[in-house]
Structure 1
Amino acid sequence: MLKHSILSQLTDAKVVAVIRGASPEEAIELTKAAAKGGIRTVELTYTTPSIHKVFGALDHEDILLGAGSVLDPETARHAILAGAKFIVSPHFNEQIAPVCNRYGIPYLPGCMTIREMVKALEWGSDIIKLFPANSFEPSFIKSVNGPLPHVRIMPTGGINLDNIQTWLASGAVAVGIGSDLNKAYAAGGFEAAVELSRQYMQKSVQ
């Protein structure tokens, strides 16, 4: 899959489910619930035990799978070889960027400042993860796009059903959601996570 195709899928999807499972089985269930609810792009975090099993189990699903909580180049390469189509970090790492570029995989680093964003752009990042987004107002995106109109931002952390539309209307190319899914799954199981995923997708297109 070509890099520009992956980026198009990410921006078309609008909603990226950030899956943190207490076990591989939970991560697989959560991912399938998100997909059943209409979310087709999923970030599987490396905080999940035996995450390679999750990639393997979902290999034939119609889902764009990426890897999150990637802290070093070794993990990035492991994720890419496991099947990740994009790599996400909570911070920008100069050693991760070349690995992703080498394999033609988008790298979405977490950034909070203009300086960090410009540096990430210079190393080839096409989408910047604003993280944690709950430290900012949605209007921050327009402020960034003033001097840097070409920066594409995906806020993650603190996105919920009440503010997702505001973030998207303010210029976010997509949003990352996660903790809500885990809470829904813990409280009501698989179908509760499916229903919440449906609600997020409905909000993303209104």
Structure 2
Amino acid sequence: MRLDQIQESGIIAIVRGHQPEDILAIIKALDEGGVRTVEITADTPDVGAVIEQASRQFAGKMLIGAGTVLDPETARMALMAGAKFIFSPTLNLETIRLTKRYGAISIPGVFTPTEMVTAFENGADAVKVFPANVLGPAYIKAVRDPLPQIPMIPTGGVTLDNIVDYFRAGAMAVGLGGALVRKTTKVDSPYLEELKGKAASFVEAVRSVRP
């Protein structure tokens, strides 16, 4: 899978805190709303089976990856289940190397310019700037000026109100958690319709700022 699929999508939807039996319905709603890239967090119960099911059901339509991956062992499990990218909140060089060994997309979590360069020099395809909301879009623009070669995916605190600012600052894509896929104990038809609508709104916002 190529990195430009994530760039074209512009949005990585983060599915966290949901029961395994609800996740396929959530991904379907995201797909119907126009989102094409989904991260299933590694702390999901029976996450390997969930990734495998999602990868099979949405093959050719959605890019399914694993998130909150802290070590190479977890990365390997997710990749064996069918994950096409590894999205991490931290920088672990062995996780990058293992991900690339299996031909998948590596997106480690970074915050400082030094971490960004270290990640990129060790094979990362892009970097997850996390938590992005601490310094906002201005920070992305500031670090993009000296490091334009490093694709950046701000995550944490991205909302419909500021997503355009992040893209104008130079973001390749953004990671969207609770602002898109809010946590709930009841994934029913109203929730899924709301999710589909929010997904469509975020997709439209990305399109509005792209050439």
- Normalised to the residue count of structure 1, the TM-score between the two structures is 0.93
Structure 2 counterpart SS, 1:107: strand
Q: How is 1:122-133 mapped onto 2 (pairs within 5 angstroms)? A: 122-133=121-132
Residues 1:66 and 2:65 aligned together = yes
Instruction: Name the CA distance, whole Å, in 2 between partners of 1:33 and 1:184.
Output: 15
Q: How is 1:33-182 mapped onto 2 (pairs within 5 angstroms)? A: 33-58=29-54, 59-61=56-58, 62-182=61-181
Residues 1:19 and 2:15 aligned together = yes
Instruction: Name the CA distance, whole Å, in 2 between partners of 1:142 and 1:12.
Output: 20
Aligned to 2:195: 193
Contact 1:21 1:27 in 2 (8 A): no
User: Matched residues, percent identical?
Assistant: 41
**What are the superposed Cα offsets for residues 70-111 of structure 1, whole Å, 9 maximum, x if unpaired?**
011110001111011110110010110110121111110110
Structure 1 counterpart SS, 2:150: coil
**What are the superposed Cα offsets for residues 2-54 of structure 1, whole Å, 9 maximum, x if unpaired?**
xxxx2010101011101114310222222111111110111111121111222
Structure 2 counterpart SS, 1:205: helix
Length, aligned pairs only:
202
* More divergent stretch after superposition (56-65 vs 76-85): 56-65
Q: CA deviation at 1:163?
A: 0.4
Instruction: Name the CA distance, whole Å, in 2 between partners of 1:60 and 1:183.
Output: 23
Instruction: Name the CA distance, whole Å, in 1 between partners of 2:106 and 2:79.
Output: 11
**What are the superposed Cα offsets for residues 141-167 of structure 1, whole Å, 9 maximum, x if unpaired?**
221122222111000110110000110
Q: One-letter code of the match for 1:10?
A: I
Instruction: Name the CA distance, whole Å, in 1 between partners of 2:169 and 2:40.
Output: 26
- Normalised to the residue count of structure 2, the TM-score between the two structures is 0.91
Instruction: Name the CA distance, whole Å, in 2 between partners of 1:149 and 1:195.
Output: 33
Q: CA deviation at 1:65?
A: 0.5
Q: One-letter code of the match for 1:80?
A: L
Structure 2 counterpart SS, 1:180: coil
Q: One-letter code of the match for 1:74?
A: E
Instruction: Name the CA distance, whole Å, in 2 between partners of 1:204 and 1:111.
Output: 23
Contact 2:17 2:183 in 1 (8 A): no
Structure 1 counterpart SS, 2:14: strand
Instruction: Name the CA distance, whole Å, in 1 between partners of 2:132 and 2:113.
Output: 14
Q: One-letter code of the match for 1:193?
A: L
Contact 1:184 1:193 in 2 (8 A): no
